[in-house]
């Protein structure tokens, strides 16, 4: 199935911004080094690497031209890996706080 709606939803969730014009804004930001962390909502706690990886994934899902769009079947394993890594970082930070 088409992952466009998922891509836009994830992009809005990642940034905390409205959907109109967001895809172009994020695509432009990814062309500049060290800007991906600024794409993510400040209170999300994403590292620059996590934010960039997720932003590239969702921009790939949300490309307007369907022929260029990332297939949902390819995106889901990448999304699961990103979420898994984020959970590990959060659990490690929580364990360190308890010490």
SS in 3 state form for 21-60?
CHHHHHHHHHCCCCCHHHHCCHHHCCCHHHHHHHHHHHHH
| Domain residue spans of the chain | 4-98
pLDDT in tens, the chain (99 residues): 578 888 888 888 877 778 888 777 777 776 765 665 566 666 667 777 777 788 788 888 888 888 889 999 999 999 999 888 888 877 777 777 766
Q: Whole-model pTM?
A: 0.68
DSSP 86: H
State residue 98's pLDDT score: 67
State residue 38's pLDDT score: 66
State residue 35's pLDDT score: 64
């Amino acid at each position: 199935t088409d992952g466009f709606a998922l891509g836009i939803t994830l992009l809005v969730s990642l940034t905390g911004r409205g959907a109109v014009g967001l895809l172009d804004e994020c695509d432009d930001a990814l062309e500049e080094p060290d800007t991906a962390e600024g794409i993510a909502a400040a209170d999300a706690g994403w590292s620059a690497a996590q934010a960039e990886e997720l932003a590239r994934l969702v921009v790939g899902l949300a490309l307007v031209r369907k022929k260029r769009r990332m297939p949902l079947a390819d995106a889901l394993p990448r999304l699961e890996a990103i979420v898994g890594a984020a959970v590990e970082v959060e659990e490690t930070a929580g364990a360190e706080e308890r010490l």
